[in-house]
Amino acid sequence: MKRRLLRVCGALLLSGMAFASWNWSAGKAPPGHECRFYKTLFDGQVQCRLCPRKCIVPEGKRGTCGIRENRGGKLYLITYGKPCSLGNEPIEKAPFFHFLPGTRRLVLATVGCVLRCRFCQNWEISQAKFEDVPYREVSPEQAVAVALHEKVSSICFTFTEPTVYYEYMYDVAKLAHEKGLKTSMVSSGYIETEPLKELLKVLDAVKIDLKGFTEKFYEEMAAADLEPVLNSIKTVKQSGKWLEIVNLVIPGQNDDPKDLQRMCLWLKENAGADTPVHFTRFFPQYKLKSVPPTPVASLVRAYGIAKAAGLRYVYVGNVPGHPMENTACPKCGKTLIERQGYQIVKNALKGGRCPYCSERLRGLW
Ligand code: SF4
Give the CATH number, domain containing residue 315: 3.20.20.70
Enclosing domain of residue 92: 85-347
Mutate to test the pocket of ligand 1, among 47, 62, 65 (most ligand atoms within 8 A of CB): 65
Do 92 and 72 fall into the same domain?
Answer: no
Do 201 and 293 fall into the same domain?
Answer: yes
Contacts of 29 (CB under 8 A, 6+ apart): none
Residue at a domain's end among 78, 104, 137: 78
Instruction: Provide φ and ψ at 338, rounded to 5°.
Output: -105, 135
Do 70 and 100 fall into the same domain?
Answer: no
Do 96 and 233 fall into the same domain?
Answer: yes
Do 225 and 90 fall into the same domain?
Answer: yes
Report the distance separating Cα 327 and Cα 156, nearest Å: 22
Question: Would strands 46-48 and 56-57 be described as parallel, antiparallel, or unpaired?
Answer: antiparallel
Ligand 1 neighbourhood includes 114 CB (under 6 angstroms): yes
Q: Ligand 1 centre and the CA of 125: distance in Å?
A: 17
pLDDT of residue 16: 41
Answer yes or no: is 24 within a domain. Answer: no
Do 107 and 42 fall into the same domain?
Answer: no
Cβ–Cβ < 8 Å for 279, 249 = yes
Could you tell me where the DSSP H helices lie in the chain?
A: 2-8, 123-126, 140-150, 166-178, 193-200, 215-217, 227-239, 257-270, 296-309
pLDDT of residue 27: 53
Do 249 and 233 fall into the same domain?
Answer: yes
Report the distance separating Cα 119 and Cα 144, nearest Å: 32
pLDDT of residue 188: 98
- CA nearest ligand 1 atom 6, residue: 51
pLDDT of residue 24: 55
Answer yes or no: is 323 within a domain. Answer: yes
pLDDT of residue 35: 97
Answer yes or no: is 96 within a domain. Answer: yes
Ligand 1 neighbourhood includes 77 CB (under 6 angstroms): no
Contacts of 297 (CB under 8 A, 6+ apart): none
Answer yes or no: is 354 within a domain. Answer: no
Question: Would strands 56-57 and 68-71 be described as parallel, antiparallel, or unpaired?
Answer: unpaired
Ligand 1 neighbourhood includes 55 CB (under 6 angstroms): yes
Do 311 and 204 fall into the same domain?
Answer: yes
Answer yes or no: is 189 within a domain. Answer: yes
Do 204 and 321 fall into the same domain?
Answer: yes
pLDDT in tens, the chain (365 residues): 343 333 334 344 454 434 444 555 655 555 689 999 999 998 999 999 999 999 999 999 999 999 999 999 999 999 999 999 999 999 999 899 999 999 999 999 999 999 999 999 999 999 999 999 999 999 999 999 999 999 999 999 999 999 999 999 999 999 999 999 999 999 999 999 999 999 999 999 999 999 999 999 999 999 999 999 999 999 999 999 999 999 999 999 999 999 999 999 999 999 999 999 999 999 999 999 999 999 999 999 999 999 999 999 999 999 999 999 999 999 999 999 999 989 999 999 999 999 999 999 999 99
Do 93 and 155 fall into the same domain?
Answer: yes
Answer yes or no: is 20 within a domain. Answer: no
Report the distance separating Cα 95 and Cα 107, nearest Å: 12
- CA nearest ligand 1 atom 5, residue: 54
The model's pTM: 0.92
Do 49 and 99 fall into the same domain?
Answer: no
pLDDT of residue 15: 44
pLDDT of residue 14: 54
Give the total number of structural domains in the chain.
2
Answer yes or no: is 65 within a domain. Answer: yes
Mutate to test the pocket of ligand 1, among 33, 53, 74, 115 (most ligand atoms within 8 A of CB): 53
Do 193 and 315 fall into the same domain?
Answer: yes
Residue 17 parent element (H or E): none
Answer yes or no: is 265 within a domain. Answer: yes
